[in-house]
Amino acid sequence: MAELDLNFIRAQFPQFEDGWAFFESAGGSYLPRQVITRVTDYMNTSFVQPAWDFEASARASGRIADAKARLAHLINAGEDEILIGPSMTMNMYVLAQALRPLFGPGDEVIVTNLDHEANNGAWRRLADHGVTVREWQIDPETGALPASALDALLGPRTRLVCFSHCSNVVGTINDVKALVARIHAAGALACVDGVAYAPHRLPDMKDLDVDFYGFSLYKTFGPHAALLYGKRHLLEAARPQNHYFLTDAPYTLNPGGPNHELTAGAAGIADYLEAIDAHHFATPAASPRAQAQRCYDLFAAHEDRLANRVLDYLGQRNDVRIIGERRADGTRAPTISFAIHGRDASEVAEVLRRARIAVGHGDFYAKRCVEALGLLPAGGVVRASLAHYTNDADVDRLIAALETVR
Ligand SMILES: Cc1ncc(COP(=O)(O)O)c(C=O)c1O
């Protein structure tokens, strides 16, 4: 297999020119030129109300439709099964409002104490409408979400289970396909947060058989917007949240309408993957999704190697608690949270900041998880999140700076 050409990759991202070692991709990834070009091009040439017949308007509609079709293809979804909204949080909020009328008093929804609040709080609020909310809890030592604990919660009244493909704090990749099969066997639906997964592995809607799946485009090398997938018949069954006379799903779940330049600009994600493919492979792939898949395979190999460098370093220190798996061998994303004994997470982040190393610290809005891990009093976790564009020099800098925090 080809190796990822980091010089080529990094040349696509103008943000690297500032010289920082960037480890905050899980908060928001850097943006490749292809996306910037798409957004500015839309604004320069198509910035009118779409859907009319005049030239600029037809061009605007065409670009928006093209972007959605390419994104849908990448995740193996139908074009009429995805929508673009402002954020994962907003998409989940709208979806919860749209599904609420389908649930009766005593119906049950399962959420976790692992996840970011986006696929969590909106569902918990359904308790105000008579829905019973049950919590699927993590192992407080490891942060793992045990499948056996789900079995104990699933019952005849379970209507929906909301969980993540990968936690933005713990990094462990959950076996979504197997979990969805259990959930379906119990007669319930599955709504999966793929935000921390999609930048690292290419999700496949049909293979996972999820009912709803969402991720933020801005953490997946795209503009500040988010994609929501839903099975067609479920999008149609969901109660419309747009103007009453707009009845076409999935537009019904886009109250106020999507942001046009960012939706059109998201085509740049597909352009970026095509550029990587063209650079690394001599023979054509069967489809753009197959192209993307082989690019993601390169990402995964590179990310696992670098993540293991960071994990090995942290693992040999006896004053560090690593959250989640201690090896990256396909079972975890390179989103590495840790705590250094006796140090507040903000202190560690400050040392790194002074060395021009960007990390985040705290709970990353997965507050229930960080609380369950017992780390809120220590200021939460420090999170060094890698992406495929992270290079060995970045990791050298991170390790050297962490060495000064003893
Ligand atoms: C796992 C996960 N889910 C959801 C979100 C929320 O995404 P958005 O900012 O698009 O609402 C985040 C953001 O950090 C996240 O990491």
Q: What is the mean pLDDT of residues 298-327?
A: 98
> What's residue 12's pLDDT?
98
Q: What is the largest CA-CA distance in the chain?
A: 67
Q: Are residues 246 and 296 in the same domain?
A: no
Q: Are residues 132 and 253 in the same domain?
A: yes
In a domain, 209, yes or no: yes
In a domain, 229, yes or no: yes
> What's residue 285's pLDDT?
96
Q: How confident is the model over 5-44, as pLDDT tens digits?
A: 999 999 999 999 999 999 999 999 999 999 999 999 999 9
Distances (CA, A) of 299 to 64, 124, 172, 292, 313: 28, 35, 17, 10, 21
By C-alpha distance, which of 334, 310, 331 is closest to 320?
310
In a domain, 107, yes or no: yes
What is the per-residue DSSP string for 232-257?
A: HHHHHHSPP-S-TT---TTGGG-TT-
The CA distance from 90 to 163, in Å, is 16
Ligand 1 centre from 163 Cα, in Å?
Answer: 13
> What's residue 80's pLDDT?
97
Percent of the chain surpassing pLDDT 70? 100
In a domain, 276, yes or no: no
Q: How confident is the model over 339-373, as pLDDT tens digits?
A: 999 999 999 999 999 999 999 999 999 999 999 99
Coil, strand or helix at 377: helix
Domain stop point among 222, 237, 269: 269
Query: Using CA atoms in the order 216, 94, 59, 63, what is the torsion angle rounded to 10 degrees?
Result: 30
> What's residue 2's pLDDT?
82
In a domain, 281, yes or no: no
> What's residue 191's pLDDT?
99
Could you tell me which residue, 2 or 223, shows the higher pLDDT? 223
> Considering the entire predicted model, what is its pTM?
0.98
Domain stop point among 240, 269, 298: 269
Q: Are residues 155 and 167 in the same domain?
A: yes
Tokens of 292: 């993307």
Residue 369, ligand 1, Cβ within 6 A: no
Q: How confident is the model over 240-257, as pLDDT tens digits?
A: 999 999 999 999 999 988
Distances (CA, A) of 210 to 109, 164, 192, 199, 203: 16, 11, 7, 18, 10
For a ligand 1 pocket test, name from 365, 370, 385 the mutation site with the most ligand atoms within 8 angstroms of its C-beta. 365
Residue 170 near residue 114 (C-beta atoms within 8 A)? yes
**Which residues touch 294 (CB under 8 Å, ≥6 apart)?**
277, 280, 281, 285
Tokens of 270: 């597909």
Q: How confident is the model over 79-98, as pLDDT tens digits?
A: 999 999 999 999 999 999 99
> What's residue 217's pLDDT?
98
Q: Are residues 154 and 109 in the same domain?
A: yes
Q: Are residues 50 and 140 in the same domain?
A: yes
Q: Are residues 240 and 376 in the same domain?
A: no
Residue 335, ligand 1, Cβ within 6 A: no
Does 259 score more than 90 pLDDT?
yes
Does 1 score more than 80 pLDDT?
no
Does 287 score more than 80 pLDDT?
yes
Does 177 score more than 80 pLDDT?
yes
Q: Are residues 215 and 360 in the same domain?
A: no
Does 144 score more than 80 pLDDT?
yes
pLDDT band per the 50, 70, 90 thresholds, residue 222: very high
Q: Are residues 77 and 168 in the same domain?
A: yes
Q: Which atom of ligand 1 is nearest to the CA of 226?
A: 10
Query: Using CA atoms in the order 6, 360, 19, 394, what is the torsion angle rounded to 10 degrees?
Result: -40
> What's residue 55's pLDDT?
97
How many structural domains is the chain composed of? Answer: 2
In a domain, 279, yes or no: no
Q: Are residues 231 and 338 in the same domain?
A: no
Residue 84, ligand 1, Cβ within 6 A: no
> What's residue 389's pLDDT?
98
Domain stop point among 207, 234, 269: 269
Residue 192, ligand 1, Cβ within 6 A: no
CATH of the domain at 172: 3.40.640.10
CB-count burial class (<10 Å; 0-12, 13-18, 19+) for 185: exposed
CATH of the domain at 21: 3.90.1150.10
Does 188 score more than 90 pLDDT?
yes
What is the per-residue DSSP string for 78-130?
A: -GGGEEEES-HHHHHHHHHHHHGGG--TT-EEEEESSS-GGGTHHHHGGGGGT
Q: How many helices (H) and strands (E) does the chain have?
A: 15, 13
Residue 88, ligand 1, Cβ within 6 A: yes
Q: Are residues 175 and 254 in the same domain?
A: yes
Question: How many other C-beta atoms lie within 10 A of the C-beta of residue 236?
Answer: 15
Report how far Cα 43 is from the mean position of its chain's Cα atoms: 26
For a ligand 1 pocket test, name from 24, 219, 361 the mutation site with the most ligand atoms within 8 angstroms of its C-beta. 219
Helix, strand, coil share (%) of the chain residues, nearest 5:
45, 15, 40
Does 57 score more than 80 pLDDT?
yes
> What's residue 70's pLDDT?
98
In a domain, 217, yes or no: yes
> What's residue 312's pLDDT?
98
Residue 193, ligand 1, Cβ within 6 A: yes
Q: Are residues 242 and 332 in the same domain?
A: no
Q: Which atom of ligand 1 is nearest to the CA of 196?
A: 1
Residue 28 structural domain: 6-32+288-403
Cα torsion 74, 77, 81, 86: sign: negative
In a domain, 280, yes or no: no
Q: Are residues 260 and 315 in the same domain?
A: no
Mean pLDDT of the chain: 97
Does 384 score more than 90 pLDDT?
yes
Residue 195, ligand 1, Cβ within 6 A: yes
Residue 170, ligand 1, Cβ within 6 A: no
